[in-house]
Amino acid sequence: MGDIPIALIVVMLAFLIAGGIFMVGAGIKNNRIRNFGIGELYEAAASAIMVALFVYLSAVIFGLIPGIFVGAINPYALSLHLITTTINSAENVYSGLFSVYDYDMYLSTLSVVVGAPGAPQLNITGTVINFALLPLDIYFIEPTVVVSGFIYDGIMALYAEYYLIVFFAIAAIPVFLIPGVILRVLMPTRALGGIMISLAAGFYFVMPLLFAVA
């Protein structure tokens, strides 16, 4: 929110430039320049409305001013809390599965040697122990490996989502909104500026809400 005044200053400069073009056209009685200045005033007004709406939504969402229909809803706090809770739960499940898997793998490596004084030793591991532990390997060890892999991939995806939301919270305004407003001032880059303003709104409002709902 600290970068919002820069966007407002850019909007004021857009009004100043458009007003200057209009006054020049009116002064030299050139309707083409005057009409161009009027069009630029409309574009500056559109940019001002976008920035004002962005500021209002930010203030309502983060509780700086009371909303008309709803109270403060901080999508970043909600989404980051849900992701952190899910990560902790998944890591606990992963640790528990790994502990049981490690113990079962230890059991599956045991060997039994039978011998008597004066007689050669007989290793019955391959014929008795492995056969007895075969259901354990089929019904638990192998499924545990597969499930643990899925859980690990999910944890990595949640960490990626977490840092992606943090990036959106930090970069949406200075990286997308302010350059978008600046680009909307210039006629050749006006479409690109509108796209960047839309991306800023999507990154700053929509993405954390989607992560919170999901």
Radius of gyration, alpha carbons of the chain: 32
Question: What's the mean pLDDT in 20-31?
Answer: 84
Q: Residue 99's Cα: distance from chain center in Å?
A: 32
pLDDT for 197 beyond 50 = yes
Q: What is the pLDDT of residue 122?
A: 46
Contact call for residues 35 and 43 (beta carbons, < 8 A):
no
Span 133-151, pLDDT tens digits: 556 666 676 777 788 888 8
Ranges of H-type helices in the chain: 4-27, 31-61, 75-108, 130-136, 142-171, 178-185, 190-201, 207-213
Question: What's the mean pLDDT in 84-90?
Answer: 90
Contact call for residues 154 and 170 (beta carbons, < 8 A):
no
Q: How far is residue 170's CA from residue 81's CA, in Å, rounded to a whole number?
A: 17
pLDDT for 121 beyond 60 = no
Span 185-194, pLDDT tens digits: 777 888 888 8
Contact call for residues 203 and 58 (beta carbons, < 8 A):
no
pLDDT for 107 beyond 80 = no
Contact call for residues 183 and 192 (beta carbons, < 8 A):
yes
Q: What is the pLDDT of residue 156?
A: 92
Q: Where are the domains of the chain?
A: 4-73+172-213
* The model's pTM: 0.62
